[in-house]
A and B are shown apart, each in its own frame.
Chain A
Amino acid sequence: MAKIRLQIITPQKPVLDKEVDFVVLPASKGELGILPGHTEYIATLKYGVLRYKIGEETQTFAVLGGIAEIANNNVSVFAEGAVLQDEIDEETARQQLEKAKSARLQNDKAIDLEQADQEIKEALLLLKVKKLQSGKLKNKKK
């Protein structure tokens, strides 16, 4: 079966370059599932969850907004940040959330508020993705 080449690129570095079977992108108007042979497409991404499948194995990324280009079985995701689920540190994310929240209460300059909001959004997303993982682990145990 045809495969999709999935690339995730952030300003810092290319994060991922893999042949996969199926990708779900967090597009701005809802999730977007992509199988091989998808039409040429450009979509904006919101803060959300990106999943891909190779065989039976599923991997999950937290994606911090950006843009995705789909052409000729190539999916290129350009995101400001992308973190693999396994690499998320729950404690750090929680601390970031607390810090951003208190910063939000103390500041009243628009630009600082915006930044704090962004950080809150980011931390929440990271926590959410992490939670997905632990939920899944629990299910397996049962």
Chain B
Amino acid sequence: MESLRDIKQQIKAINSTKQMMLTMKMVSSARIRSAQQTMLNGRPFAQKMASLIDNLRKDIQDGENPFRQNKYYRYFDNSLGDKNKVGLILITGDKGLCGAFNAVTLREALRWIRENKDKEKYVFIIGKKGADFVRRIKMPNLHIVCELINIFPHISYVHASLIKEKLEQCTLEENLSKVDLIYNNFKSVASQELVNKTFLPFDFDEIEGEDDLQNFIFEPGIMEVLITLLPRYIGANIYRFLLESQAAELAARMNAMESAANNAQEIADNLSVKLNKVRQEGITNEINEIVGGANALNN
């Protein structure tokens, strides 16, 4: 049987662990607020770009437009590119202790890799967990194009444009037919949503274009405007995905830490019940001994 001292020590250890978890939870929840704010700040830019592009797209899709010869045309037409070459942008976290966040993302990544096992795969990794995971997979047709680690929680647009440049370069040089994206969408503090979708070529069904650009004058011309727009649009989107993933990771960590702290509390409660029982047992024994002793003297 455990001694009183052992149990007391255990309770102390568990309480300090609980304290640590609560602190981590507080840190995450403080950061979520600022992450959410940055996310909201970045939204107007991406939305406006999307609706502009959507409008311009209608102009270039009919007929023999010179834009069809442009290197950016591949982002609009999914029949282009080498069907045996695909890309993946994988966004995970840098650190653990955030519940199933990384595990779920990596499982999806593994599924993607299996799905495309006969194709040449080009992977762009953001986050240490993802990098460690993909590096362990030995496959001759799996290429790591770039890995960015330890950029959370201080991501900025610079990181996004770095990925964008690598992505553009790789898509052109390797003639990728499509680029998929796996990341976690921040739905609310309580829930994150794992997203696996095709990033390039663009899927215009999700873009809502509101304004009509029929009467606009373009300077220098529609094509030049599109060429200026597209890289910025891609950059802004990647930036958004990074922010979403960051916020989702923080939310996941917050929840994981909260339930861990609750668990610790439960264990501590059980232990203190046990402590009391052991103490009571000791007291009862002592009383028994005293009464027994007294009885022996009386007889």
Contact = CB atoms under 8 A, between A and B. Distances in A.
Contacts of A39: 217
Nearest to B228: A44
Interface string A50-71: 0000000000000001110101
B169 A80 contact: no
Given A9-B48, A13-B42, A78-B48, A42 B216 contact: yes
Contacts of A11: 42, 45-46, 157, 160, 232, 235-236, 239
Contacts of A67: 52, 225, 228-229, 232
Interface string B220-253: 1000110011001001100100000000000000
How many residues of A sit at the interface, in one of the four size bands?
A: 20 to 34
A43 B216 CA distance: 10
B164 to A, nearest CB: 11
A65 B236 CA distance: 14
A69 to B, nearest CB: 7
Contacts of B224: 28, 44
Classify the interface of chain A: helix, strand, loop or mixed: strand
Interface string B148-167: 00000000110011000100
A24 to B, nearest CB: 14
A78 B49 CA distance: 8
A42 B225 contact: yes
A11 B229 CA distance: 13
Given A11-B42, A11-B45, A111-B169, A78 B225 contact: no
Nearest to B224: A44
Contact of B157 (A9, A12, A78): A12
A14 interface: yes
Given A12-B157, A41-B217, A78-B232, A71 B225 contact: no
Given A13-B42, A40-B213, A44-B219, 15 more contacts: A10-B45, A10-B157, A11-B157, A11-B232, A12-B38, A12-B157, A13-B41, A27-B219, A29-B220, A44-B228, A67-B52, A67-B232, A69-B52, A76-B48, A80-B161
6 contacts: A9-B48, A11-B239, A32-B219, A41-B218, A41-B219, A67-B225
